[in-house]
Structures are given as structure tokens and as C-alpha cells.
Structure 1
């Protein structure tokens, strides 16, 4: 299991029963809305991390902007998500894991 991505049950997150399962207070919310896909993930990252104007709304550009940011912790809440493009979500998770492996950040907290 990766140290970059943590999956937390919503009830468990609210209880914060263990230190390793607690979401850091400084975690930045990545809000995707009801559809989790490439377009919404990239828009949400852009908004959450205030990417620069040259962000090209593709995975490579997201990688560049993400690794240039100071983001240490991200929180992705699935409470409103009704539809998931699993291929896009897997690419997003791979990007987070690669960034964490190369730069030691960010960590992603997936709450569902």
C-alpha cells in the first residue's frame, strides 16, 4: 500500500480514532462535485491549488503544477460523487503516487 494515498471511511474520519487515519488539518479540499472524471479532477486541482495561468488542463501540465506547488496534503471527499470514471481516477492516483515518490508530497486522503 502506498504512503501517498489513504482511504478513509467517512465515519472513521469524523471520529479520527487513530493518528495514522486522521486527515491533517492543513489538507486542501479538492472538490469534484457529482462526477469524478478527468475534466472535473483537473478543474478541481486548478481551483484548490491556484495553478498558474499557463496550466493547460491536461495530466502533464497538472503534474508540473502539482509538483511546483507547496501542497503537502489533499482531501478528496466522495460524499457528493455519483459517477466515477475509474480510468481517470486511476491516472489521478498514479500522478499523486509518482509525485509523492519523487518529491515526498502530496499525500491524498480519499474520504468516502
Structure 2
């Protein structure tokens, strides 16, 4: 069954399918937040100059583009704004529901073992 979002553990072992070779990597540094994500997403997907760096504009640009597969590696991210991450996942799920694209593969950080 096809879905919008797939999660992968840090060792690269998929929980569903493997990341497609043609997936566009969204580079993220140490902090995942709205600003960082939208900037990286726009650059990686070559969004048009009218991209407004907001959630609605990201949805518009993703659904208007030919981008079908995205990869987001959060394994090395030190600070994840969960609200922004959840909004982004919602955008992906809505776009996939309406247009059948894009699909997102997320490499998740492993939890520290104390």
C-alpha cells in the first residue's frame, strides 16, 4: 500500500520501503524549524522566485512541481520543533491525498539509551 510518509531508523533499515534513488534530499543542519525547513526545501526543490516562505506557499509549490519523492534526514538534528515538523507532515499528507505526490522518507534520530 502506498502512503505519503515513510519512517526509517538511523541505521538505514526501513520500516516500510527503501528511499527511491530519485528522492530529493532536504538538507537540515542541527536545528529543524519552519525557517530552516522552508529555506532548505525551496533550494532543494528549486522553487520559483515567488515562493513566499510560508506553509501555504510550500504546499502550492510542491503540488505545482514535478517533485515526487523527498528525503529528510533528521538523525543528526539536535533540536526539532515538533509543531513545525507536524505541520510539514500535514502538508505532505494533504498534497499526497490530493495529487498523489510527493512522498516523504524521514530518517529518524535514535533515542539515547541511559
| TM-score, with length taken from structure 2 | 0.88
**Equivalent residue for 1:28, pick from 11, 24, 31:** 24
Q: Extract structure 1 runs of 4+ deviating beyond 2 A.
A: none
How many residue pairs get aligned? The number is 107
Secondary structure of the residue aligned to 2:39 is helix
**Equivalent residue for 2:80, pick from 77, 84, 93:** 84
**Rounded Cα–Cα distance in structure 2 between residues aligned with 1:57 and 1:110:** 21
Structure number with the higher helix fraction is 1
Gaps of 5+ in 2: 109-114
**Rounded Cα–Cα distance in structure 2 between residues aligned with 1:80 and 1:44:** 16
Q: CA RMSD in A?
A: 1.6
- 1:11 is aligned to 11
**Rounded Cα–Cα distance in structure 1 between residues aligned with 2:102 and 2:73:** 16
Give the Å deviation of 1:10.
Answer: 2.5
Secondary structure of the residue aligned to 1:10 is coil
- 1:111 is aligned to 107
Equivalent pair of 2:12/2:107 in contact (CA under 8 Å): no
**Equivalent residue for 2:51, pick from 27, 34, 55:** 55
**Equivalent residue for 2:36, pick from 40, 48, 60:** 40
| TM-score, with length taken from structure 1 | 0.89
